[in-house]
Structure 1
Amino acid sequence: MSDDLERLANRVLWPGFFGTEAPEWLLAELRDGLAGVVYFGQNIGEGLSALSDAILEANPDALIGIDEEGGSVTRLESATGSTLPGAAQLGQLDDLAATRATGAELARRVAAIGGNVVLGPVADVNTDPRNPVIGVRSFGSEESLVSRHAVAEVEGIQRGGVAACVKHFPGHGDTHLDSHHSLPEITLDLEEFERAHLAPFRAAIDAGVDSIMTAHIVVPAWGEAPATLNPRVLGMLREWGFYGVVITDALDMAAIRETVGIGGGAALALAAGADLLCIGNPTNPGDAALADQDERDFRAARDGIVTALRDGSLPRERVEEAAARVTTLAAKLRARGAGAVEAPPFDARAVVGAAVTGAVADAVALAVVDARRRSSLAVDSASSFVAEALAQGDHRQRLDVARASIEEQDAALDAAVAADGLTVILVDRPEADAAQRDLVQRAAQRDPRAVVVNVGLAPEHELPLPVVQVGAASRIGAEIAGERLRGASFPSRVSAGRVD
């Protein structure tokens, strides 16, 4: 009886794991029907295609998913930074052909390493400029803009033979908290929430999206449970005619782990209507992660499901329904892969170059003060590759303005001004972070010729220095910003990744 229930639970579980080779416990579970795996940065290496082959040999129906959004979020290029446009850049251009082509290129890259599920695009409407987890991952702050670009990227991804997954339902855009660390609550009037945040998900469903990821947010008007565990919220998807796979955001995030726990969350999510349970990245606990954290988290989720099946709090029919949806998606992807449309040549530099706006200069060298916020679990925003790509070997200094004293900040500014080059203040939250704004103000007092490079949302209020607006913490965006400050020019219009 126990083995039967464990096999059933396996069919709806989607774990992360340590290493660039599949551990034996994972291969054994895949042979016993495990739904598949999710790749994170620590899984990426030269042998990634061989890793996918091993996973698919153990379970030919395995779904291999990866957070590959372009812009600020990449796993395939986590060591060096993304070379694809991000959502905010595509929303800034508002060229659907370019967004569709970006989706096709995402699909091509993921399929090339043996993956078959792109965990994107983000369909959240970012209406709160303080948002610490969405921001430039969103196409914008207006629902019709986000809707049409979410659909375009879904079309590009799915024509490439892999599944798209719009996220994070019912909308993570109007929060100033990060569900990786807490349980955000959105207290909008229900009519306003439905007007501003649901449209992109409805549009993606109408466009035939394969899967939808839930958000760990609470909307009190729909009840006290977070959306991932809330049957009223997830039930809306079925009411709208969505018959694809509902995927949970990671169950190891604090919003679930520190409230009902991974096991309890797994059972409650299934009962609420989820189909595939993303367990998460075993490196997330940081130094507290145990050597077998990946297997522990997986077994905690499975044990929670098996316990709920045994005590009757989770009907077997609900889990079988979820497993059937996962199996149907796997079969669809096998058929789609055979007829996938090859991605056309894609000029990411043309797209990103047209999206980067603002100040230009003719500097011989740059002196970069990197004042961005610390990295989060979702976005490795403070990775050194952004500053490196901007500075190109010139002076650069990392400055954590949230922790550094005023004296330390002033010393960093003085060193930049004294260096042989144009002073550049690299920021990512100039509207929401007072410390970043204050630093820019003091830089302007020291060097009125200095400039700001902003890889976050465009500030609503004018800064005292010229701004290069990049809209993504990516390698390609930083390279192009640096080139602009060194006198290079870029096209103002593109279509399908090519210059018009």
Structure 2
Amino acid sequence: MTESTAPATTDAQSLRRLVNGVIWPGFIGTSVPSWLAEALSDGLAGVVYFSHNLLPDMPGQPAELSAAIRAANPLAVTGADEEGGNVTRLQFRAGSDIPGAAVLGALDDVTLTEAAGRAIGTLCRAAGINLVIGPVADVNTNPLNPVIGVRSFGSGTDLVSRHTGAMVRGIASTGVGACAKHFPGHGDTSGDSHLSLPRLDMTLDDVKRVHLPPFRAAAAAGAAAMMSAHIVIPDLGEAPATLNPAAGALLRGLGFDGLLITDALDMAAVQATVGMGQGAVQSLLAGADLLCVGNPSNPYSSGGGTDGTGQGGAGEDDYLQVRDALLAAVADGTLPISVLERAAARVAAFASGAARVPAADHPADPAQEPDWVAVAARACTVSGSGGTAAVAMPRLPSGVSAVDVVDLRTAHNMAAGATENFFAAALAERLTVRTLSLQELVADKEAVQVPPGLDSPSPRPCVVVLDALLDRGQAAGLAELIDVVPDAIAINAGLATPLPVAPPMPIINCFGSSRVSARAVARLLTAEDRTGRTL
């Protein structure tokens, strides 16, 4: 028997408010555009912040923006991807001051991880954010994973489980909700769901054994939400987990009754397959409660016009595409009202609980926060040189005042976005830094003419930055650089992946490219901090 679509008493306005109550869009602008204010006053669930919504030179602006959003809807859910390390919205331009998951996993000190969660929660609470889209609970078992990598606590199920739980506890202790991601586990994929539809080629039994325990730990620690992954698990069927009722049932089978949030519906795994509108409908039918629409500034977003004020209101088209698809699905009987009511009730329950937590209940205590740069320095390891099992932490020559920095990284992580070279910036706080491409470095060295019988003039020390030691392009660039500057020092901002043949140079593995990790490496290279470990 087909479920009833809409009760006769449901008028158009009530239905629109019900639909709005499960939609969580992004927007372009640093203030509330008119379309967003109207949607919020009409029951929109809330908003997701991205870096383009925030003004780095105005410390109070995020809180003012959140206040303006809550003026339109006092129960608005405001969220942001704030993971620490590489992925930050509030500190995007300057770089995160809080170590990322791989740094914390390398140290394996749950007390530090819980403290990092408190720091993230405090940062978000001050900005008026009531739901952190984090931590990453994925077990990164595939070293070639292009989107998770150092965003994960590591490749071991137990390690990731205990640190996911600790991070959730830390965030929750500040009165901010935590959303563990990406259920049921994005860590063994070789594709990026921003760009394609990845497959997790594992049996369901292996998924349950390897990838589900961190989500159980998140639930036990008090996670307010889980975010689904746009990945196919063949044993669950060919639909991506976000759109797959079997994946939704798998989550509820863990005993979790909080919010199930979709990963962004504008990502290619959904938009290029079923489309955002159908993706929204299918997500709700699969058990989702809150539809994360996505970042309208992304090149694959449908974008959206302006709000008529010149302040920018892009994002409206994406929101309308999702809203109108849901209204149409109710009208044609595809989407039962009861499904919407269930989802909206969970969203409202979270929002009401978040609104009841006074700010004074969770005062910040900066004096108790660790020295995060020292923490990140302790996580650094050294590998190389020339196959040596263990080498000392390298340092720049005593008295050096200038250094060349060559960045061999070929692309940015889509979740993190494009950032400046924080390693060059951190070294520039201590030394004169010249940033060059590999081609410029080669040309510069070839231009130096050394008379026969004389040694080469003392060159500037060279630091080279990589983030994927197994990437052929970066490996080839490193080999070319070594021919020109054999005494260069390499900084690996990615996973500390064992190499078949170690290059004849020391490699500092710092497990991230954030500002805090960059400053840690700068301390080590200038011998201010000698706490890094060796491999």
Cα–Cα, structure 1 residues 424 and 334, in superposed 2: closer, same or farther, change >3 Å?
same
Given that 2:303 and 2:317 are in contact with CA atoms closer than 8 Å, whether structure 1 keeps it comes out as no
Q: Helix, strand or coil for the counterpart of 1:166?
A: strand
The aligned counterpart of 1:212 is: 226
Partner of 1:426: 465
Paired amino acid for 2:228 = T
Given that 2:379 and 2:510 are in contact with CA atoms closer than 8 Å, whether structure 1 keeps it comes out as: yes
Which residue does the alignment assign to 2:424?
387
Partner of residue 186, structure 2? 172
Asked if the contact 2:77/2:351 (under 8 Å) is kept, the reply is yes
Alpha-carbon offset, residue 446 of structure 1 = 2.6
Q: Which amino acid aligns with 1:488?
A: E
Alpha-carbon distance between aligned partners in 2 of 1:205 and 1:412, rounded to the nearest angstrom: 55
What amino acid is aligned across from residue 314 of structure 1 in structure 2?
A: L
Could you tell me which residue of structure 2 aligns to residue 266 of structure 1?
A: 280
- Residue 75 of structure 1: CA displacement? 0.5
Could you give the per-residue CA deviations for residues 81-102 of structure 1, whole angstroms, max 9, x where no partner exists?
1111000000000000100000
Q: 1:337 to 1:157 in 2, by over 3 A?
A: farther
Unaligned runs of 5+ residues in structure 2 are 1-10, 307-313, 383-392, 449-455
Q: 1:37 to 1:342 in 2, by over 3 A?
A: same
Q: Is residue 35–residue 316 contact of structure 2 (8 Å, CA) maintained in 1?
A: yes
Deviation, structure 1 residue 11:
0.4
Select 1:397's aligned residue among 425, 430, 435.
435
Give the deviation of 1:397 after TM superposition. 3.2
Q: Which residue of 2 aligns with 1:474?
A: 514
Task: Say if 1:415 and 1:109 are closer, same or farther in 2 by CA, change over 3 A.
Answer: farther
Give the 3 Å change call, closer, same or farther, for CA 375–413 of structure 1 in structure 2: farther
Equivalences for 1:47-62 in 2 at 5 Å?
47-62=61-76
Amino acid of the structure 2 residue aligned with 1:470: C
Per-residue deviation, residues 422-445 of structure 1 (Å, max 9, x unmatched):
1111000012x0121122223233
Question: Which of 434-443 and 325-334 deviates more?
Answer: 434-443
Alpha-carbon displacement from aligned partner over 1:88-127 (angstroms, at most 9, x marks no partner): 0000000001000000000000000111111100000011
CA distance in 2, matches of 1:206, 1:385: 36
Q: What letter is aligned with 2:351?
A: A
Give, as a single letter, the amino acid of the residue that structure 2 aligns with 1:480.
A
Task: Answer yes or no: is 1:18 the counterpart of 2:28.
Answer: yes
Q: Distance in 1 between matches of 2:329 and 2:444?
A: 56
Whether 1:254 aligns to 2:268 is: yes
Pair 1:318 & 2:328 matched: no
TM-score by length of 2: 0.86
Match of 1:342 in 2: 363
Question: 1:63-462 to 2 correspondence within 5 Å?
Answer: 63-285=77-299, 289-292=303-306, 293-337=314-358, 340-344=361-365, 345-346=368-369, 347-358=371-382, 359-363=393-397, 364=400, 365-380=402-417, 383-392=420-429, 394-397=432-435, 399=437, 410-411=442-443, 420-431=459-470, 433-461=471-499, 462=502
Could you tell me which residue of structure 1 aligns to residue 389 of structure 2? none
CA deviation after TM superposition for structure 1 residue 195, in Å: 1.4
* Residue 2 (str. 1) matches residue 34 (str. 2): no
Once residues 77 and 415 of structure 1 are traced to their aligned partners in structure 2, the CA distance between those partners, rounded to angstroms, is 40
Residues 60 and 415 of structure 1: is their aligned pair in 2 closer, same or farther, counting only changes over 3 Å? farther
Amino acid at match of 1:58: A
SS of 1:217's equivalent in the other structure is coil
* Worse-superposed segment, 332-341 or 449-458: 332-341
Cα distance in 2, alignment partners of residues 366 and 166 from structure 1: 40
- How far, CA to CA, are the matches of 2:115 and 2:469 in structure 1? 31
Shift of 1:56: 0.8
Distance 1:457 1:138 in 2: 10
Deviation by residue 1:131-151 (Cα, 9 ceiling, x = unmatched): 111100000000100000000
SS at match of 1:377: coil
Which amino acid in 2 is paired with 1:436? Q
Distance 1:8 1:490 in 2: 58
Q: Matched residues in 1 for 2:447 and 2:254: separation? A: 58
Q: Which residue of 2 aligns with 1:496?
A: none
Deviation per residue, 1:471-498 (Å, 9 max, x gap)? 11111211221221122215469xxxxx
* Aligned-residue CA RMSD (Å): 2.2
Judged with a 3 Å threshold, the aligned counterparts in structure 2 of structure 1 residues 456 and 354 are, in CA distance, closer, same or farther, namely same
Q: 1:326 to 1:414 in 2, by over 3 A?
A: farther
Query: In the alignment, which residue of structure 1 is the partner of 2:529?
Result: 489
Taking a change above 3 Å as real, the CA distance of residues 49 and 467 of structure 1, as seen in their structure-2 partners, is same
d(CA) in 2 for partners of 1:44, 1:366:
33
Higher mean Cα deviation, 100-109 or 284-293? 284-293
Contact 1:101-1:343 at 8 Å conserved across structures: no
Instruction: Report the CA distance between 1:8 and its aligned residue.
Output: 0.7
| Pairwise CA distance, 1:387 | 3.0
Does the 8 Å contact 1:143/1:200 carry over to 2? Answer: yes
Residues 413, 219 of structure 1: CA spacing in aligned structure 2 closer, same or farther, 3 A cutoff?
farther
| Contact residue 381 and residue 473 of structure 1 kept, 8 A | no
Listed as ranges, the gaps of 5+ residues in structure 1 are 402-406, 494-500
Percent identical among aligned pairs is 46
Deviating more after overlay: 66-75 vs 355-364: 355-364
Distance in 2 (alpha carbons) for counterparts of 1:351 and 1:337:
31
My pick for the range that moved more, 330-339 or 74-83, is 330-339
Q: Distance in 2 between matches of 1:435 and 1:151?
A: 37
**Is the CA contact 1:372–1:381 (under 8 Å) kept in the aligned structure 2?**
no
Match of 1:498 in 2: none
Q: Is the 8 A contact 1:374 1:382 kept in 2?
A: no
Instruction: Give the aligned residue type for 2:70.
Output: L
- Work out the CA distance in 2 between the residues paired with 1:257 and 1:115: 27
C-alpha displacement of 1:382 = 5.2
Shift of residue 338, structure 1, vs aligned partner: 5.3
The alpha carbon displacement at 1:17 in A equals 0.4
Inter-CA distance 302–413: structure 2 relative to 1 (3 Å threshold): farther
1:459 is displaced (CA, Å) by 2.1
What is the rounded CA distance, in whole Å, between the counterparts of 1:137 and 1:419 in structure 2?
A: 39
Which letter maps to 1:444?
I
Amino acid corresponding to residue 304 of structure 1 in structure 2:
A
Are residues 288 and 61 of structure 1, via their aligned partners in 2, closer, same or farther at CA, if it must alter by over 3 Å? closer
Counterpart amino acid of 1:318?
Answer: V
Partner residue, 2:310: none
Match of 1:35 among 41, 45, 49: 45
Answer yes or no: is the 8 Å Cα contact 2:281–2:325 preserved in 1.
yes
CA apart distance, 1:390: 3.7
Residue identity opposite 1:375 in structure 2: H
* Map of 2:452 onto structure 1: none
- In proportion to residue count, which structure has more helix? 1
